[in-house]
Structure 1
Amino acid sequence: MDTEHASGASARAGRPGGPGHPPRTGISAVLVMALAMLTFAAVVSPAAAARREGGGVTVNFTNNSDRALTLASLTATRGCLIGGQPGEIAPGTSASWSSAPCLGSNGSAGNASFRIAGEDTGTVQVSWDSPTTGPNTYTQTAPGGYVIGRTGGAGANPTVQFTFDCNSTTCDGIPDDWKRNGVTLDPGDGSGPQFIDLPAMGADVNKPDIFVQLDWMADATHSHALDPQAIRRVVEAFKNSPYTKHSPSTGINLHIDAGPGSILDFDTNTTWGDLSRARQLPEQANLGTLDGNGNYRWDAFNTIKTQAGGFVSSGRAPIFRYAVSADRLWPGSTTLGIAALPGSDFILSLGALAADIPLIPAQAVDFMHELGHNLSLRHAGDTDLPNNKPQYFSVMNYSFSVRGLTAGATTGIADYSRDVRSLNEPFLDENVYPFSSRDYDVVHYCRNDPNGPYITTARSKGWVDWNCNGVQNRGVVNADVNGDGQYTRLTGHDDWSALRLRAGEIGQVGAANLPDAPTPNNEPTMEQEEGVLPLDTTPPVTAAATDSAAEWKDRYTRDVTVTLSATDDISGVSTTEYNLDGTGWTAYTGPIAVTGDSRHKLLYRSTDFAENQEADKSLTLWIDCGHGHEHDPGHPSGPDS
């Protein structure tokens, strides 16, 4: 019998009278009280408990959170375990196990511990003890950001139900009560309690919220503050996303505090005003160094984060991620940012941005890329390699992490992948375009392109020249479409459904944690990004030249050799071809000999690596090697000719 149940029974048994029952008096009342005392004694008497049969326990465990639980340990401290062990409990599923007395044991007891996928802040723990004498007891604990409850567990062979869940309706790590009423938190650095007015900031119990404080460096001549339009692009990308976990509607509310004058609500253009704690930081050329292994050290960042009056002093660490927009990370660095993965800290270092990259899209894409790392995304989805997968339409992809995605005339789009699609490099069908749920254009490696290795092909083309030979091949081809020197199967990843909103310090009340372990420096460099060419929608231009001048207009008295040359503004010329006198199109490999007395017509055109084909051009050549113009009925005669 569990302790809670016994207490309830004694309270009910010892209550005289009640609604509809007048109080008893005299001997009857005495008898009733005596019976009540006997009943109470029976409930709690060790002698009575000793007569109980059983001592076994069945444990049901339900995972209502958004994370998978992996069994770390399952131990019988008394008695024996019965049945198999639950290796993993996926979100929305349950598992059960049992324990029972062994020979000579007094009932059964045990404990179980589970790791939370993507968490390193503690484990979920439950224990049970069902002796053959005495009450049943249970314990359960969960790390910050989560809750665990218990029901049942009474009786001789009880079933106890543990239910593990997020600490908020939407599993974003921010408790519902905080969203409704705000919260006062003490950062523990001597700043004193800080009230965080989440309702005024737009927090929503029924929709996931992500909060970011973005400080920026500046001096008298320039500022690294993000353009409001760049912030708008990222906010709208999250708002219009297909994310649906633990929410009755799609999308995520992203709140970016980039200073008192920054926009809090883009629907009303309300600014953060007095709610803001973001601040301008003194300009410094580099924010950090690399360790001996080439990994980024967070020391300089942590110094800023813990400054008196700074981010830690705001008390926001359990709610807000912290970011700094700076110049460069370390001396000579050309990477555009770095982030804890997963975590709640990141840096934008757009001082390395090339002059030919549009600024607003690059700011939005870089912010979303580094925030994506905080939310557990990597450069290939759930792994870092391989990079540049053409069918992985995400700003996490090296191919889209500076210029963003394109959809025809719309460029610089910030988005995470919405589809799981694969490409098998040894067996590619050029007639099947890797369509996404959005109209995104494909970026792929083109080893024959002398001007840049990664080409953007418009979805409107309906096919991709994977092997870059300038023609649409029938059947399958093999090609290294991501430029890693291998021919493998490239797997896809649905980023939005894989986001982990609760990571790092989010939901962790107590002393602020700092990123201490160096972070691998595997972010794309500006040099790598310059190899990803922008969308090319303009066809090449081909010129034709003859080896000798015509006697008059297009009339020649000798055989002619024609040379073709083509240029292209972005992706480069893939093929040039010609058609002489209707004999069919032939790939141009060198000068074309045009011979024989006749009126010859030469058609020619070129195609670039982005599949833009030039309109047919023509050149007419009249050749009369023996009689001059007399065979040309259209040629005027006489001295004026």
Structure 2
Amino acid sequence: MGKQRFKIFMAVVVALLCGAAGQGEAGTPVFGNMSGLTVPASYKVTNLDFSAIAINDAGQVLSSDCRFYDKGNVISIYTPVQPCIGVGLNNAGQALVFGGYQSPVTYIYSNGNLTQLNTAPWYSPSWIVRPEGINDSGKVIATAEYSGWLSYSVLFDTVNGTSTNLSAMIPGVGYNGPRTITNKGDVSGWYWDANYSSQGYVIRSNIFSQVPYFYPVINDNGVTVGNRSVLDPVTGTRYEHMFYSKNGMEVDLGNFGGSYIRAEAVNEAGLAVGYGAYNPTINGLNYGFVTDGRKLYNLNDLVPAGTPTISTASGINAYGQIAAGVILTPITPPVTTAYPDIAAGKVSLQALDYDFGVKALHYSLNGEAEVVEASGAATIQLVPGVTNTVSYYAIDNADNVETARTITVNLDTVPPVTTPVLNGYVGQNGWFTSAVQVALSAIDNSSGIARTEYSPDGVNWTVYTAPLNITASGVTTVYYRSVDTNNNTEATKSIAVSIDQAAPVTTAVVSGTLGTNGLYTSAVKVALSGIDTASGIARTEYSVDQTTWTAYAATVDIQTDSTTTVYYRSVDLAGNVEAVKSVTFTIDKTAPFIGSMNPAANAVNVPIASSITIIFSEDISTGGAFAGVALMRGLTKVATLNTVSGNTVTIKPVKLLGKMATYTVTVPAGAVIDAAGNNSAASSFSFTTGRR
């Protein structure tokens, strides 16, 4: 390499050994299995006579020298530019290789065809493109180097023939490179920051993040695995530890005593593989490892005695098979998967074993005699209308026995039936006069009830756990349905809950000719109006004695001169009865009239010292014409003092009356009025005095 590139390389080495930016102390272990899987107790070793570096889910293998293993056949991939170097392998069977060291050319081998990757505009005399990985959709990540000065992370899309410079979102000095690409297109890698210190990066959903690991690898389920320098508090020396992180949790997995450790791959289940160094005081050799996020496992401890040293592990497929120079297959019992088909009324069983193969599948339907199927697959016809139980397990050719399992399948196709029960004070016409509890009861005579649910609108559903308490006035609609354990859903039903807890309100309006003192001088009409905002008015009624009630249909007419009380109330459709109300009024249509006078009309021999009194039919007061009340002797008006008290008008002459004289008393209309303001009629009478 050039001098400048050598200086940069040495800067990275110094940064790694001395603990530059991005490093940290040993973290507190987070106990538990973060991947959700465990490492098997042992592996079967398959030696393909070449150094396996990658293995896909179909068991195809790629070697470092471009040999491709597929179903027992070994194919040597020949590239026009030699030597051929194997890089990666995806689940579509595409092998990523390159030819040549100094000016490498990238190729993709698939189904016997070798296609050169279009690396333009990066491939030129000044640029060197080295592939690093390929995902299942054929996207390739590569390092593009420019004369030792620049190193870029580049993504090539083999379908569209495009390339993306990922370095545009990676900070630092323009020196970076990728490590892994996931099937979602997320990328991990390394870069140099402004201080020329090596850092790790992850790009998920086109969002860049720095991670505290030097060379991280990732999967699509949020797992990141990588190395970081950790200070040994005893020796004061920094060593690389392996770290495993997921969902914000991190485990320091440590190492096996050596100075460095690297992760190479992690599958979607979260099992990661890589290599590291032993303690140099022991033998100084490398070792391959596997981890489930709980601890590091040395692969040499998990293979049969006599197996050559496994110094690296560079690939792992979904089934846990590891490419480690040799192929390591977990020695585990077979796994049987049950596929129920409710519509067809059957269950299909498929047993798989990736190490020794399936020897036999054993199953039983509803406790009947066990059936053995050597093919490892079976289709079982279920009994209709009942709950079927299928028990099954498989045995592989190494006599590993799978733990027996069962699947329960109900061929129920009839939805459940839900019944509502309303509890509350029942009024009239289907209305309740209290809060109402709605209890839902569901029955399913086959698979059983999975859940009952309710909704206020038939759209947003809530799981029913206890009776619903309805308090709102008016009509509330409750929608409900149930689902059985076979996922049969009842058609949506509804019930209207009608609540009216309030009595109606009646208003009385009194109309007539209003005189004085609140008295009416005409007949009176009483108009009643009832309001009920919930159930509505059933009837309004009135009474004048609170004993006999009459349904109100039109205004109540009161003609009689008297004080009258009209009692009234309304009843709503729910049966709520309003508390009795009343309105009281007095009618006085009759004007005051003269009942008697003293002296009487046409009286004779009236004493000359007499005062004249006029007694009316009721209490009176002076009216507008009271000044016209007069005592006349012929045409002469006699001076008098006129007063009103109670029902009496008193006319007192100022002087003695004349002897043997005739006098006339004149009371004009309106001279007096009663309490209602009725005017008295005009009247007059005469009398004659005596001799003394």
| TM-score relative to the length of structure 1 | 0.25
Which one scores higher on RCO, CA 8 angstroms, separation ≥ 6? Answer: 1
**As a proportion of its length, which structure holds more strand?**
2
| Rg larger for | 2
**As a proportion of its length, which structure holds more helix?**
1
